[in-house]
Amino acid sequence: MAKAAEPVAKAPASKPPAEELRSFLIGLGRGAAGALLFAVPMLMTMELWELGDYTERSRLLVMLFLNIPLLFFLAHQIGFERTFTWRQAARDATIAFGLGILISAVMLAMMGILKPETSFTSIIGRIAIQSVPASIGALLGRSQLGGGARQNEPDEGAVPDHLSPNFARELFLMGVGALFLNLNVAPTEEVILISYKMTPWHALATILVSIAIMHAFVYAVSFRGTHQIPEGEPRWHALFRFTLPGYVITMLISLYVLWIFGRLDDTAASQILMSAIVLSFPGAIGAASARLIL
């Protein structure tokens, strides 16, 4: 007897053009709101204005170029709306970068940071250095300000660790969270000041506390999006699989940000390590938060 033909899955029906446009504009509005929400602390930080003036232009260029693939992959995970193709992700990433540049320029001009007498290189530098966190915030707007549940994740409660996203995605999101919070803190002089005041014992305690906070945020304190360790799996498995690699990524991100801002120039190796440990403390909180909310 002939086997019955299996039903072919139908592609989701496309929305009417007017509804597609409305959905996209809503997403765009969320992106602009996210850029403002996440970038305002940095837009109103004097150290970042100054860094825009004297940071080496080659390093700023590196930061801008590396921001493009970061936005691209982040857009594929979040975006202004659900994306199903890399082309859509590229579109969202481009728009996010544009929003970051536009909002940074408008806000800096509104606050009198950009004036007609400001040199062209300073204007470009100040906008460029602010556009990176603003563009990341634009993409985070949908995750934080959107009205629906995130894809592949329940609306409430803990996420079983075996249902959590794949390992590479987890590490990527932790890196984004660490980068975002590091960009808030790294421009301040306090990072360098604290690193000079610390002893090796202080540094060791900071490392252990940072790792403990990262692990507790995700697995212990029952925040929304908390991950559950599957029954029968040793508790140390998640520590070695996610938390410790996440802390290593946070340290690398901290070194990268410190290098971009010139904080490592003419500095001894021991002091570089101390500065990275100090900056990794807020970076670890950002990395853990990213696993919960993205």
Do 74 and 48 belong to one domain?
Answer: yes
Residue 233 confidence (pLDDT): 60
Residues 160 and 61 in one domain: no
**Domain end (from 148, 177, 202):** 148
End-of-domain residue from the set 130, 148, 166: 148
Question: Which residue do the tokens 């921001």 mark?
Answer: 67
Q: Tell me how many domains the chain contains.
A: 2
Of 131, 148, 165, which residue constitutes the final position of a domain? Answer: 148
Query: Residue 73's Cα: distance from chain center in Å?
Result: 11
The backbone torsions φ and ψ at residue 205, rounded to the nearest 5 degrees and listed phi first, read: -65, -40
Whether residue 287 sits in one domain with residue 160? yes
Q: Report the alpha-carbon distance of residue 147 to residue 39 in Å, rounded.
A: 21
pLDDT of 105: 94
Rounded to whole angstroms, the Cα distance separating 150 from 53 reads 39
Phi, psi of 161 (to 5 degrees): -65, -30
Domain ranges, residue 175: 154-294
Same domain, 104 and 169: no
Nearest by Cα to 262 from 187, 177, 181:
187
pLDDT of the chain, 294 residues: tens digit per residue: 444 444 444 444 556 677 777 777 887 888 888 888 888 888 888 888 889 898 999 999 999 999 999 999 888 877 655 555 778 788 888 999 999 999 999 999 999 999 989 999 999 999 999 999 999 988 887 666 555 444 444 444 444 444 445 778 888 988 999 998 999 899 888 999 999 999 999 999 999 999 998 888 776 554 454 455 555 566 667 778 888 999 999 999 999 999 999 989 888 999 999 999 999 999 999 998 887 776
Q: Considering the domain boundaries, does residue 168 fall inside one?
A: yes
Rounded CA gap, 73 and 153, in Å? 18
State whether 133 and 158 are in the same domain: no
Per-residue pLDDT, 155: 42
Q: Side-chain half-sphere of 28: how many Cα atoms within 13 Å?
A: 13
Nearest to 99 by CA among 162, 53, 35: 35
Q: What is the pLDDT of residue 290?
A: 82
**The predicted structure's pLDDT at residue 82:** 59
**What pLDDT does residue 101 have?**
94
Closest C-alpha to 45, from 180, 259, 188, 181: 188
- Taking the model in full, what pTM does it have? 0.79
Q: Please report whether residue 12 resides in a domain.
A: no
**Alpha carbon 105 to chain centroid, angstroms:** 21
